[in-house]
Amino acid sequence: MNKPLLIGPFTQLLPMTGLPLKGALKDEQLSIIENGGILVADGKIVKVGVFDELKSADVDIQLIDGKNVCLPGFVDSHTHICFGGTRARDYAYRNAGKTYLEIAKAGGGIWDTVTQTRKASQDELVKGIISRSQKHLKNGVTTIEVKSGYGLSVDEELKMLRAIKQANETSKVTLVPTCLAAHMKPKDWNQDQEYLNVIINELFPIIKTENLANRVDAFVEESAFSPEEIKPYFQKAKEMGFDITVHADQFTTGGSQVAVDFDAVSADHLEASTEKEIQLLAKSNTIATALPGASLGLGCAYTPARKILDVGGALSIASDHNPGSAPMGDLLTQASILGTFEKLSNTEVLSGITFRAAAALRLEDRGKLEAGALADFVVFPTDNYQEITYHQGQLKPSMVWKNGTPIQ
């Protein structure tokens, strides 16, 4: 039997433990272990503490040279990295002042990606997912949520979900699949409710049989599905045992109320949320997920993260990496920029991409460096953790560990 492996020392080790899931956080609350070490066995953390105090004859040692800061591996709780094609033309049109409707009439918008994704083979989608997840991994992201939603038919949504599952089998990153068949109203269906019923009756059972996802998402918006249209859909999804998450309040309100009504794990976007929605989410168990990449891509307001935290809400921060509104796909850069505009402490930013993001996926085994957690952690070449957000994503990790194994 192999001995446990002691990894370190780290100039600063931030376990992200002892912090509440909800509410504002001050940097004074952040636990920092100087000259820290992580004891690992069988892909999990055995113990975290001062490196010299963890040394013994019963452990193997892997020394980490130089000045460095160690954090839990980042969790990106909302992405759309399974897609075909590009939407670079949309981005140029948008910046040139064209409206969403004008772009759609010119052949752009979500339906453009649907068309290109339908043309792609499953193998092509797998290659795209792995390539994009590798980019995330290099930036310290060790768990990535991945949505379907560019298929918008039973067969095409299955192709996407199967591609995500296949990619997860070979990817070094953990991929968490979500069914977003209710992303928009398909142009090749005349009856919206009929489409949703087909997804419920034909797609959901196959997803369960093949274990393709345990999460169902929907875009609740005037341009997609109304609260009234989506409620029967979510009701059936809950009855079948799916977790619920919602694209909510991106342009108009209404989605966050649906999220709370269905005890959704998370309500994501929230750029249009008012005081009413902020209070509603704060009093619920639903985690608010900010998507600053979409704000940067669309040139619109940010999620009111500061207000959400100040009234006691739980805030996750995700990249929304997608080919249309959020093509950057750099979680740390986006989280750092959100922190600047919303005046978030370093602890709030880092919590939003570690344990609070893990909670938005109902994953209790990551996002913190503590006994029993997965040995997923990221190391930055600095002796001060404040440098990480200060450089707004340009200070890159020197090492990334997944399940106790160095992968970069």
Which CATH number characterizes residue 42's domain?
A: 2.30.40.10
Does the CA dihedral 129-135-138-140 come out positive or negative? Answer: negative
Of 32-36, 89-93, 384-388, 404-408, least confident by mean pLDDT is 404-408
* b/e per residue 364-379 (b: at least 16 CB within 10 A): eebbbbbeebbbbbbb
CATH number for the domain spanning 107: value is 3.20.20.140
Looking at the structure, tell me whether residues 262 and 160 fall in a common domain.
yes
Total structural domains within the chain: 2
- Residue 108: is its pLDDT beyond 90? no
Mean pLDDT, residues 347-356 = 98
Mean pLDDT score of the chain? 96
Looking at the structure, tell me whether residues 68 and 205 fall in a common domain.
no
Instruction: State the residue range of the domain holding 136.
Output: 75-359
Looking at the structure, tell me whether residues 172 and 306 fall in a common domain.
yes
Looking at the structure, tell me whether residues 33 and 100 fall in a common domain.
no
Looking at the structure, tell me whether residues 42 and 163 fall in a common domain.
no
Looking at the structure, tell me whether residues 200 and 244 fall in a common domain.
yes
Mean pLDDT, residues 316-322 = 98
- Residue 191: is its pLDDT beyond 90? no
Looking at the structure, tell me whether residues 222 and 294 fall in a common domain.
yes
Looking at the structure, tell me whether residues 305 and 328 fall in a common domain.
yes
| Angle of CA points 320, 407, 36, to nearest 5° | 95
Looking at the structure, tell me whether residues 394 and 283 fall in a common domain.
no
Read off the pLDDT of residues 275-304 as tens digits, 9 standing for 90 and up. 999 999 999 999 999 999 999 999 999 999
Q: What one-letter code names the amino acid at 195?
A: Y
Looking at the structure, tell me whether residues 33 and 111 fall in a common domain.
no
pLDDT band at 103 (very low <50, low <70, confident <90, very high): confident
From 337, 359, 381, give the residue that closes a domain.
Answer: 359
Mean pLDDT, residues 73-97 = 95
Looking at the structure, tell me whether residues 32 and 149 fall in a common domain.
no
pLDDT band at 326 (very low <50, low <70, confident <90, very high): very high
pLDDT band at 244 (very low <50, low <70, confident <90, very high): very high
pLDDT at 270: 98
Whether residue 61 contacts residue 80, with contact meaning beta carbons closer than 8 Å, is answered with no
Whether residue 378 contacts residue 73, with contact meaning beta carbons closer than 8 Å, is answered with yes
Of 56-65, 149-158, 196-205, 345-354, least confident by mean pLDDT is 56-65
pLDDT at 1: 57
Torsion of CA 233, 315, 323, 156, to 10 degrees: -30
- Residue 163: is its pLDDT beyond 70? yes
pLDDT band at 192 (very low <50, low <70, confident <90, very high): low
Looking at the structure, tell me whether residues 149 and 116 fall in a common domain.
yes
Q: Which of 394, 324, 290, 401 is nearest to 107 (CA)?
A: 324
Does the CA dihedral 198-200-202-207 come out positive or negative? Answer: positive
